[in-house]
Amino acid sequence: MNTKKEIIDEIYYLLGEDQNAPVFDKEGKVMPKLHALIDAICRGKVANLITGQAIKSGLLDFIKKEKRIKVIRSMTLSEEIDEESETISLSSTQELKDEGVLAINGNIIRYNGKTDTQLLNISGVNGWHKAGSQVFFAFALPPQVIKVYDVWDNEGERTLPFVDMREQSKYAPHYTVKSQNGKQYLIFVNYEGSATISITEKIDPMERDDDVCGLPDQYGLKIIPPLIAGELLINTSEMQKGKELLIMGYNALEDMYSFYATPTKPWRKTIKSRSLSFNTW
C-alpha cells in the first residue's frame, strides 16, 4: 500500500507544480478531492469525467469484513404508542439491552433505559402504532459501513434474503436495510439467534504522511495521482494532458476492480434499486 506522502508527491509531480503552489492548494483542493475519490472508489461509483458514465464495481474484497451479532426475536406492543409516548410496553424486556434501536411498522425508534416490561425515554416515534404491532430488532450500523452484502444464520449454512418487505411473506426470515437521518439500520424479521453480516467499510482518511491509503498493492499510486491531477488540469490550458492522465487512472481503476471485486448478485442489484417504503407492513 502507498502512503499519503508518496501519493501527494506524485500528484504534484504530474501537475508539474510545487506543493506550495497556490493554484493547486494542497489543503483546500487536493486533499478534499483525494478523500472524496477514495470514498467513491470504495463505493464503486467513480464518475468518468470524459464519458460522463460511472465506473462501477462489485464487492471489493479488500474492504470486506464480517461481523457476528446477536438478533433478538420479534415481539408485539402491549399498548399503543404515538408521538407523545415516552415508553414502549412489551411482555418482557429481559433479552434487550439497556439502550438500543427497534423498528415498528418501519419506524426506527430509540430507547434509553428499561424496566421488566417497558422501554424508557423513547424517541423517533412517527405517527400511531396500535397494540399488537410487531416490534423488530434493529441493528444500528456504524457510520463507516458502506453496504451490507450478505447475512448468514447462526449455523452459517443459510443466507437470509434481502427483501423489499412489501412484496414478501411476513413469515419468511429475512432482513432489510433502512436509511434514516444519514444512518443505516439493519432490520431482522422473524429471526433470532446469532447472525454473521458481510459488509464493506470506508477506508480511514489519511492524516499523517506515513498513513496508507488502503488501496491494495501499488494501486494507490497508479489510480489516485493521475485522477486527481487529471481532474485539476482538464479545465486548464493543459486539457489534453489532463485527459491523458484521467484515461491512465481510469484504466488502472478498472484493472483493480477486475482483480479485487466480486460481482454483486443480480437479485441484489434488482431489489436494491427499488425505492423502499416501510410504512406499509
Which pLDDT does position 21 carry in this prediction? 80
Cell, residue 210:
506515513
Same domain, residue pair 162 and 110? yes
SS3 79: coil
**Domain identity same for 112 and 242:** no
pLDDT band, residue 271 (cuts 50/70/90): very low
* pLDDT over threshold 50, residue 81: yes
121 and 223 in a single domain? The answer is no
Query: Residue 268 has what pLDDT?
Result: 40
Say if residues 71 and 194 touch (Cβ distance below 8 Å).
yes
The verdict on residue 281 lying in a domain is no
- Residues 197, 73, single domain; the answer is yes
Number of domains in the chain: 2
**23 and 122: one domain?**
no
| Residues 188 and 230 both lie in one domain | no
Read off the pLDDT of each residue in 158-167 and give the average, rounded to a whole number. Answer: 74
pLDDT above 80: residue 69: yes
pTM score of the predicted model: 0.76
Same domain, 74 and 193: yes
Q: Are residues 67 and 160 in the same domain?
A: yes
Same domain, yes or no: 156 and 186: yes
The residue range of the domain holding 26 is: 4-62+204-262
Q: Are residues 128 and 189 in the same domain?
A: yes
Q: How far is CA 270 from CA 164, 177, 250, 265, 273, in A?
A: 10, 15, 26, 9, 5
